[in-house]
Amino acid sequence: MSTATTYRPATLAELRDALVDSAGERLAVAGTGSATAWGGEPVHDAVLDTTAMSGLISCNPTDLTVAVQAGMPFATLQETLAEHDQWVALDPARAGTVGGLVATADAGPVRHTFGSLRDSVIGVTVVLADATVARSGGYVIKNVAGYDLAKLFHGSLGTLGVLAEVVLRVRPRPAATATLAVPCDAATAFDLGGRLIHGSLEPVAVEWCDGTLLARFDGTSGGVEDRLRRARALAGSDATDAPADAWSVVADLVSGDDGDTVVRLGTAPDRTPELAALVAREAAAHAVDAAMTSSPFAGAHTVRLRGGSAAAHAAVVTALRTEQPAVTVCRWTDGLRAELPAWGEPPPAVAVLRAVKRAFDPDDRLGRGRFAPWF
């Protein structure tokens, strides 16, 4: 589709104009393009590139808020906030734009405590398919006036409208942080993680990544040291203090490489061990290398498949869908699309999803096919 027209607005006004000018064209909304493979393959006549909308609108450290254009790279946002010893409480594996993060609902291990961007976005300005500019939420961290449209756009994958501006709540950076690493299987990790939580040690992240439990503690330097010591005592002799880059293993696994398949899915927390067993069993049965990372208490899992045929990857993903239909394929190995539908069984509220899509984009101009066959 390299011949497709590209619109590259830099301001809200230009974005609105782009939607007017492109009337009748099917659009692919794009950030940096790092997550374009998620779900179905949309058809489009033109690309709406949001990366020129990358400015800081306002940074309000005393109010704990920041407002940016949606095309701002997430890394740039965090750098800006770091100057004020603040951050948006989110640690995705690799990040493109802020808008892309909202649209993919992506998150990293601190989802254990802070959830995903849905829990940090306090206001949005969006432009709809018919060029309507709409705002919801605002600039204050507590606000219930009107519907919260930002929530709808969380996970919308470019199918509902274009995020133009995003206002986020920020948090102070912790004075100290430390990570405990414990090599163990998923069942042990779930049990130990539970004891850290019930023991009120308040880990900010608990991740079981490919055979290692990582638990991160944030706080004052004295407090973190004390909790790390107590956590180590709970965990037994295999536990070690992990270097700060221990978490890059999680990021690498989630990102995958060319030729890999990467999927994410959610389950109840206590299904984590079963899921890990299922992944290992199915991977072995189909001669595929599988690796998995989980935020067990958020019930969020990512599975990476490597090696083996597309048909084998399809068989493993199909087995996962039997356990949990709501599997998102984020990276597709060559030939997998021919073997596997983009989505599994639709969620119970699919009729409402369809109705919302119809209400916001009646002509299905934006990201057409992304959620096919659901809508």
Ligand X SMILES: Cc1cc2nc3c(=O)[nH]c(=O)nc-3n(C[C@H](O)[C@H](O)[C@@H](O)COP(=O)(O)OP(=O)(O)OC[C@H]3O[C@@H](n4cnc5c(N)ncnc54)[C@H](O)[C@@H]3O)c2cc1C
As a whole number of angstroms, the distance between CA 15 and CA 18 comes to 5
In whole angstroms, the minimum distance from the beta carbon of 3 to other proteins comes to 30
36 binds other proteins (CB under 8 A): no
Which of other proteins, ligand X, none lies near 138, with the C-beta cut-off 5 to 8 A by kind?
Answer: other proteins
Q: Which two tokens stand for residue 171?
A: 């948090």
As a whole number of angstroms, the distance between CA 289 and CA 301 comes to 16
Q: How many residues bind ligand X (CB under 6 A)?
A: 34
At a CB cut-off of 8 Å and minimum separation 6, what does 353 contact?
A: 346, 347, 371, 374, 375
337 binds other proteins (CB under 8 A): no
Q: Which is nearer to other proteins, 164 or 312 (CB)?
A: 164
As a whole number of angstroms, the distance between CA 285 and CA 247 comes to 30
Q: Counting runs of H as helices and runs of E as strands, what totals does the chain give?
A: 12, 18
Which of ligand X, other proteins, none lies near 203, with the C-beta cut-off 5 to 8 A by kind?
Answer: none
Q: Which two tokens stand for residue 179?
A: 């990570």
As a whole number of angstroms, the distance between CA 16 and CA 7 comes to 11
Residue in the block written with tokens 């976005």 = 121
In whole angstroms, the minimum distance from the beta carbon of 222 to ligand X comes to 33
Segment near other proteins (CB under 8 A), from 74-82, 125-133, 279-287, 313-321? 125-133
Q: Using an 8 Å Cβ cutoff, are 292 and 256 in contact? A: no
267 binds other proteins (CB under 8 A): yes
Q: How many residues bind other proteins (CB under 8 A)?
A: 98
Q: Which is nearer to ligand X, 103 or 196 (CB)?
A: 103
Segment near other proteins (CB under 8 A), from 23-31, 68-76, 153-161, 234-242? 153-161
Q: Which two tokens stand for residue 61?
A: 């450290």
Shortest CA distance to 304 belongs to which of 340, 281, 286, 329? Answer: 329
8 binds ligand X (CB under 6 A): no
Site for other proteins in 47-66 (CB under 8 A): 57-58, 60-65
Segment near ligand X (CB under 6 A), from 4-12, 94-102, 110-118, 275-283? 94-102
Mark 161-180 with x for binding to ligand X (rule: CB under 6 A) and - for no binding. -xx-----------------
Q: What b/e readout covers 343-362, taking b as 16+ CB neighbours within 10 angstroms?
A: bbebeeeeeebeebbeebbe
331 binds ligand X (CB under 6 A): yes
Cα three-residue angle 259-261-266, rounded to 5 degrees: 165
Mark 52-71 with x for binding to ligand X (rule: CB under 6 A) and - for no binding. ------------------x-
Q: Using an 8 Å Cβ cutoff, are 112 and 216 in contact? A: no
As a whole number of angstroms, the distance between CA 108 and CA 90 comes to 6
Other Cβ atoms less than 10 A from the Cβ of 244: the count is 10
Q: Which is nearer to other proteins, 132 or 248 (CB)?
A: 132
Shortest CA distance to 162 belongs to which of 355, 6, 367? Answer: 367
Which of ligand X, other proteins, none lies near 129, with the C-beta cut-off 5 to 8 A by kind?
Answer: none
Segment near other proteins (CB under 8 A), from 1-9, 44-52, 199-207, 246-254? 199-207
149 binds other proteins (CB under 8 A): yes
Q: Which two tokens stand for residue 110?
A: 């601190």
Site for other proteins in 287-326 (CB under 8 A): 297-301, 324, 326
Residues that bind ligand X (CB under 6 A): 29-36, 50, 70, 74, 92-97, 99-101, 103-104, 106, 157-158, 162-163, 254-256, 262, 330-331, 367
